Chains A and B, each alone.
Chain A
Amino acid sequence: MNALILNGETSDLKIEQFILDVLADALKDKGALSQVLPLSEMDIGACTGCFGCWIKTPGICVLNDEGRDVTRKIVQNDLLIFLTPVTFGGYSSELKRGLDRIIGFVSPFFEKVSGEWHHKMRYSALPRLVGFGVLSDVDEAAAEVFHALVARNGLNMHQTPRSEVLVMSLGKQKIKERIWNTLNGVGCEN
């Protein structure tokens, strides 16, 4: 199994190395090869909203920068992990910068999913989605929004994703347990 971690840390809000280490260990333990994309260090321009990834170069963003790599790697992996500081309940601007460029991985055409209109899948198989949000302290309101956002992203990928909020003030042991439990929940058992 191949896992892709999109690291959405920002210059102001870094993800502590021990979280990345725990993730790497947990994935390795479960037989997964993992790769981390440090989005803040990548050359990813802002989406221009042109829909060229649908109607000019179907499936490929018209902007020729590392934003294309994000989509390509997502499609080519089995497990997709969002790792981000929880920002007003959502993703950081860095994670979002990468994600804004991936709509080429869906079709421009629509179908109903759970009673709502969503885009059809371009690919027959997409990775399972897991979202890890990091908070410095407990914030129930932000956590609730984070889980809702990952759920909506999952709906657009026609799946039920897993999400977990890692609260730094609860200590490293708790965080490690939550990471392992979440990954177990997506069928990453030994």
Chain B
Amino acid sequence: MKTRKRVLLLVGSPKKKSTSLSLGDYLVSSLSSFGVTSTTFRVVKEIYNEEGRARMVQELSTTDILILASPLYVDSLPAPVIKTLELICSQRKVQKNAKKIQFCSILNCGFPESQQNDVAFAICRLFARDSKMQWVGGLSIGEGGVIGGEPFRKKQFMYRKLTRALEMSAEALSLGKVIPYEARALTEKTFIPPWLYIWVAERSWRSQAKKNGVLKKLADCPYK
């Protein structure tokens, strides 16, 4: 009997509801339709305690596909994600016959341009190299604030290219293949025109600052 493939999803966002979690969840949900089972590891919650780290290492020992869904922080991966990758790499480096694992990333940033994720992707590729995993590509998403932790079924038309890309990726991963270029190309297009995204984002900052009573303090320079 063919053993079911197992996925370990690392979610890099610290937020309870996040774009990264929405993306990761949709991908693993699509993978489940191909018979793939999954476990989710909320990196920020678990990497800084011993039990969490032990659980992650244990899960990894039976994982066939490792997926990282993460926001971009200061042009690369958030610190807890890097710490997780450091731990995984240090474990696998010393294993003589490390289990074959495929690794992919779905990265999202708050800027309109998805290519601002490029350096973070390069870091993911080198992590795969150093950890003796097979890099199978990923998806790069800009305007991450548009999703903001919403489930995709709420605005199906706006997310149609994204969901199609995730479904294509799931099919490829279930067959042990790399994420196709066509899927990546779908996610590199913006959801809404960049000027509109910027306008909505800035309006949102002002609105939230006003609610917090600091609208007039937005440009404060407290350290000079």
Contact = CB atoms under 8 A, between A and B. Distances in A.
A126 B209 CA distance: 24
B98 interface: no
A12 interface: yes
A116 B116 CA distance: 9
A118 B109 CA distance: 12
A110 B78 contact: no
Interface residues of A, number: 50
Given A93-B86, A149-B119, A100 B222 contact: no
Contacts of B219: 58, 107, 122
Interface string A139-176: 00110010011001100100000000000000000000
Interface string B121-140: 01110110110000000000
B106 to A, nearest CB: 17
Contacts of A118: 111
Q: How large is the interface on B (under 10, 10 to 19, 20 to 34, 35 or more residues)?
A: 35 or more
Interface in B169-210: 194, 198, 201-202, 205, 208-209
Contacts of A145: 119, 122-123, 126
Nearest to A108: B205
Interface stretch (B28-36, B49-57, B68-76, B156-164): B68-76
B84 to A, nearest CB: 8
Contact of B76 (A56, A116, A149): A149
A110 B202 contact: yes
A93 B79 contact: yes
Given A58-B209, A110-B201, A89 B221 contact: no
Given A59-B223, A156-B74, 5 more contacts: A47-B79, A75-B223, A88-B82, A108-B205, A149-B75
10 tightest A-B CB contacts, nearest first: A93-B83, A96-B79, A97-B79, A93-B82, A88-B126, A75-B223, A152-B75, A108-B205, A88-B127, A55-B208
